[in-house]
Structure 1
Amino acid sequence: MIVPARLVRFLALVFLSSCLMGAAAGADQRDEIAKAVDRAFQPLLKEHDVPGIAVAVTAGGQQHFFNYGVAAKDTKAPVTKDTLFEIGSISKTFTATLASYAQALGKLSLDDHPRKYMPQLSGSAVDEATLLHLGTYTAGGLPLQFPEGITNTAEMTAYFRQWKAGAAPGAQRRYSNPSIGLFGHLTGIAMNGNFARLIETDIFPALGLGSSYIRVPEAAMGNYAWGYNKAGKPIRVSRAVLDAEAYGVKSTAADMIRYVEGNIQPDRLEPAMKQAVEGTHVAYFKVGEMAQGLGWEQYPYPITLERLLAGNSSSMIMEPNAATPLKPPHRPTEPTLFNKTGSTNGFGAYVAFVPAKKIGIVMLANRNFPIPARVTAAHAVLEALSKMP
């Protein structure tokens, strides 16, 4: 059968036209995303004296990067998608992923008690809790930080041995670095390895993160932004007991949006890592309108800004809150927003994503500016993304 030349030309024009229309639509969407991000984040530089911000967005499988300001005031080096930032407590989601991975490999159970891995804690109040309680801040009221003077593993162990619970395990959530820090420490023991090394050799590579670190190597120091404290002085996080487990990760916008995409579509990961990531999406306790999982905090979506701000308020960080166990614990079946804030003395970060919508956002900054401003900006962008075709 001979196809007429006119028909061939017509079909070619139709195909070309559809390609051009698709490209135009893609360009229009990129422009709309850029407007939404600029509108939400550019004002924060001046309002909160933030030297630099990196924002990464994923929508429908497409990544978009937006960079503002400088990584260091003295050199004026611009922020890029490859600039390293301290992500603070967002590190806890990696700690959770390692523990979930260890459980997938049969190395531990979340129902285990600390004494299984640290016999010296046998008979202590903290040993009444399970690994699950430690990983969800529900062990009985461990404080936000260690008391001053805890500088090594021996002192850390002595502290946990003498600590007195203020509530029964599972009764209240009190956000705590020592709690999830011990959770990560015990996970490292269960896996017969050093926690930081396990994160860097087992977790980051399996998630496709090539520029994320606990201890930044010399070769990557040139990409490491300087953070700035309240006085505007350059600062970076210092070593401390269980710092790696609680707030020790340094990463880039490019790596973090890849991490978000791995959480949005874990089917792309190898089986044990897929199971690990899905394990961090299980909700175990209801705390107000927030559901607490391992690392991530969850909310039904769509969500109003007021509700999201309430879940990320200072009272949720600084005070004990009643916790109701979810029976059985479960992964969400309805659209859900996952989020986590992170801060060190010189850096501020925020991550949020909605798997059902295939949208997510990462914000990394080299100043610890107020969490409500971060959440408000990210919420505005997610609202814009959710309305795009």
Structure 2
Amino acid sequence: MANCAAIALLCSALLPVTSLAADHTADMRAIVDAAIRPLMAEHDVPGMAVAITIDGKPAFFNYGVASREKQTPVSEKTLFEMGSISKVFTGTLASYAQVLGKLSLDDSPGKYMPQLKGSAIDKASLLHVGTYTAGGLPLQFPDEVSNAGMAAYFQQWKADAAPGTQRRYSNPSLGLFGHLTALALKRDFAELMETQLFPRLGLYNSHIRIPAGAMASYAWGYNRDNKAIRVNPGVFADEAYGVKSSAADMIRFVQVNIDPGQLPGPMQRAVAGTHVGYFKVGEMVQGLGWEQYPYPITVERLLAGNSATMIMDPNPATRLDQPAAPAKGTLFNKTGSTGGFGAYVAFVPAARIGIVMMANKNYPIPSRVKAAHAILAQLAAAAR
């Protein structure tokens, strides 16, 4: 009965919600506060920026501090490390390159990195690399692998499964996808993100390399010992987990994903391309960065799709016979973490509703999912 009630509540998210955004800011604040304040207290989170979009209208809810040492308050302009939410931006850049005719997802890696021709990774396609289905690339590179040794690592890598049969979430896989995209576009990856992708999406406070003038807005992250830290770059850090962004920019990104039609033609098609689902993995569908679920959805099902098993273990994958734009009722989401930051994004285009949650502590993913699910459901119910 509890699941039935949750489904009924979430079905209401398909109702118009403009009036809530326009007239009930205090109600929205109460809903967000009820989910976020206990979460921050439980996990000792110094600061959070939460943004909601309802029918194209953003609302911002800021909590705590960006720096415990300086007691700098969080705002919608505070820069947080997005962790693996960066992978969605990498997927968008690759989709953009495909729209421009610079690459095809059917290409093999060796087309862009000739040193990989004939290797096991070259039996996979760019699509496999971009959806973690190349055949068993690990979550992280081994510690001994450096930037200089990256190509040699892929040359000697041995697959555990045939391409397209297994999803194993992987920074090396998605990082290679971004690297190959940059090679296809014949530009540096970070430069492409900062001078091409971000501006075309209307994002002007998002960075791979934070400029000196924006450093004052860059939050400090805090580890389990409450030590102030920031991301430690590794191989393919830019491609896999390198984006730093603000709540204002991230909710703009959610809005253009809800309604890509507001973007110029090529970027409109690029964003829409990241909504195509390619592989079924349990009850989740994997696209280029975004993970998709039928909507409405229970919190239990959403938690299963974001579980440690889905992140840490190989899972059987089935290629969809007709990859296409998702059904009308689809929820998209992605988590992201670094040593000192934790973030979550979820949105439902049919309901024109979405949420961004950014924190300067890597608190547990289930807590993020539960809070976002509760907020979206209650906002929809309050709008009736």
State the TM-score, normalized to the length of structure 1: 0.93
Identity of aligned residues (%): 66
Number of residues paired by the alignment? 366
Report the Cα distance in structure 2 between the residues aligned to 1:171 and 1:348, rounded to whole angstroms. 30
> Residue deviations 1:283-314, cap 9 Å, x none?
00000100000000000111000000000000
Moved more, 57-66 or 27-36: 27-36
Aligned to 2:342: 348
The alignment status of 1:128 with 2:146, answered yes or no, reads no
Report the Cα distance in structure 2 between the residues aligned to 1:176 and 1:291, rounded to whole angstroms. 16
Aligned to 2:103: 108
Report the Cα distance in structure 2 between the residues aligned to 1:291 and 1:43, rounded to whole angstroms. 31
Aligned to 1:150: 145
The alignment status of 1:178 with 2:172, answered yes or no, reads yes
Aligned to 1:302: 296
Q: How does 1:200-215 map to 2 (within 5 A)?
A: 200-215=194-209
Aligned to 1:270: 264
Give the conservation status (yes or no) of the 8 Å contact 2:331–2:346: yes
How far apart are residue 386 of structure 1 and its match?
Answer: 2.6
Give the conservation status (yes or no) of the 8 Å contact 1:71–1:226: yes
Amino acid at match of 2:228: P
Give the conservation status (yes or no) of the 8 Å contact 1:34–1:66: yes
Greater than 4 Å deviation, 4+ residue runs: 23-28
> Larger relative contact order (C-alpha < 8 A, sep ≥ 6)?
2
Amino acid at match of 1:114: P
Query: Which residue of 65, 88, 91 maps to 1:70?
Result: 65
Amino acid at match of 1:192: K
How far apart are residue 239 of structure 1 and its match?
Answer: 1.9
State the TM-score, normalized to the length of structure 2: 0.94
Query: What is the SS of the residue equivalent to 1:283?
Result: coil
| Structure number, greater radius of gyration | 1
Amino acid at match of 1:348: G
How far apart are residue 201 of structure 1 and its match?
Answer: 0.8
Aligned to 2:276: 282
Distance 1:24 1:180, change over 3 A: closer
Structure 1: runs of 5 or more not aligned: 1-22
Give the conservation status (yes or no) of the 8 Å contact 1:282–1:332: yes
Aligned to 1:242: 236
Q: How does 1:154-169 map to 2 (within 5 A)?
A: 154-169=148-163
Report the Cα distance in structure 1 between the residues aligned to 2:179 and 2:27, rounded to whole angstroms. 44
Distance 1:129 1:24, change over 3 A: closer
Query: What is the SS of the residue equivalent to 2:251?
Result: helix
Query: What is the SS of the residue equivalent to 1:255?
Result: helix
Amino acid at match of 1:332: P
Query: What is the SS of the residue equivalent to 1:64?
Result: strand
Moved more, 369-378 or 328-337: 328-337
> Residue deviations 1:212-248, cap 9 Å, x none?
0001111000000000011110000022110000000
CA RMSD of aligned residues (A): 1.2
